[in-house]
Amino acid sequence: MAEEKIKIVVLERSSVGLDVSISMFEELGEVTAYNNTKYSEIAERVKDADIVVANKSRLNADTLGEAKNVKLICEFATGFDNVDLNYCKERGIGVCNVRNYCTAMVAQHTFALALFLSEKLSHYDLYVKSGQYASQERFSNFDIPFYELEGKTWGIIGMGNIGQRVAKIAEAFGCKVIFYSVTGNSTVTNYERVDLDTLLAESDYVSIHCPLSDITRNLINEETISKMKESAYLINVARGPIVNEEALYHALVDGKIAGAGLDVLCNEPIQSDSYLAKIQDSTKLIITPHLAWASVEARERCVEFNYDNIKEFLKGGRLNRIDE
């Protein structure tokens, strides 16, 4: 297999950015790359492939049925819910993801959102740029109060690699860190583990870093939000459907919580009729377009880790296999 000219099909080249090269894949085989691929186009594009590299493209019996040569699927992501693992197992198709390539960036963005909100930076930036600052007599302005992170409680939902990185940064800011293990299987012992109700009630900041699953879908809803402090901030850099957007909208409008920072939504891109699209006050809500993972360095690592996965597969290895 390793000596053959294998065919590598990249279905979503643009998902890692056109500014990041994927030319290293050409060392391993004949590469055909598409910037984006619609569901209706997948089957035709992968029919002669040996290896498929994807991100969101749904790979299942419908799209892979005629692709008789496919032996490996590689993800430009950690998540793999676009792949039918049972079907791949029946076919003997290996599946690999990439891990820890964006941990630093997601943790960094978590605090970018939190600080933007809690320090009311949108308000003060506009205050200066509108000319109001230039027209005042005193040297400073702080008409909307803001507070320090030091001494606050930072609650983390999901203490995996990203959650642990966030915990370290929160500690550096002087926060007390508590966490909730969604599965109950966390082995982390250097931070206080609490139940969800306790975390919500005690935290000044709640950040979400758990995978989307049957037990996390709609985890943050009207009932759970009602248990949070009115002064608390919610940060979601995990998956959109973990948060009920209608409930969050009403909580923000009614002042049930102080603010929310989101990098993920239930529908991406955001829909024009989204509840959250109605909120234009950036001191209450900031939404970024699913970019927390996407620093240049992280995207370069994503490509490199996929290269490593393919290279090891061709040698008979099982690096980052998730189809066990």
Task: Read off the DSSP letter of residue 280.
Answer: -
> Which residue among the candidates 26, 90, 268, 297 is catalytic per the annotation?
268
CA distances from 305 to 25, 77, 98, 214, 219 (A): 11, 10, 6, 28, 32
> Which residue among the candidates 165, 239, 299, 301 is catalytic per the annotation?
239
> Which residue among the candidates 192, 290, 304, 312 is catalytic per the annotation?
290
Q: Is 12 a catalytic residue?
A: no
Give yes or no for a contact between 171 and 157, defined as CB atoms under 8 angstroms apart: no
Helix pair 121-129, 103-118: axis angle to 10 deg:
60
Q: Is 239 a catalytic residue?
A: yes
Angle at CA 230, nearest 5°, toward 224 and 232? Answer: 80
d(CA 263, CA 209): 12
Q: Is 318 a catalytic residue?
A: no
> How many Å separate Cα 313 from the centre of its chain?
27
Burial of 110-147, coded b for 16+ CB within 10 Å and e otherwise, reads: bbbbbebbbbbbeebeebeeeeeeeeeeeeeeeeeeee
Residues tagged active-site: 239, 268, 290
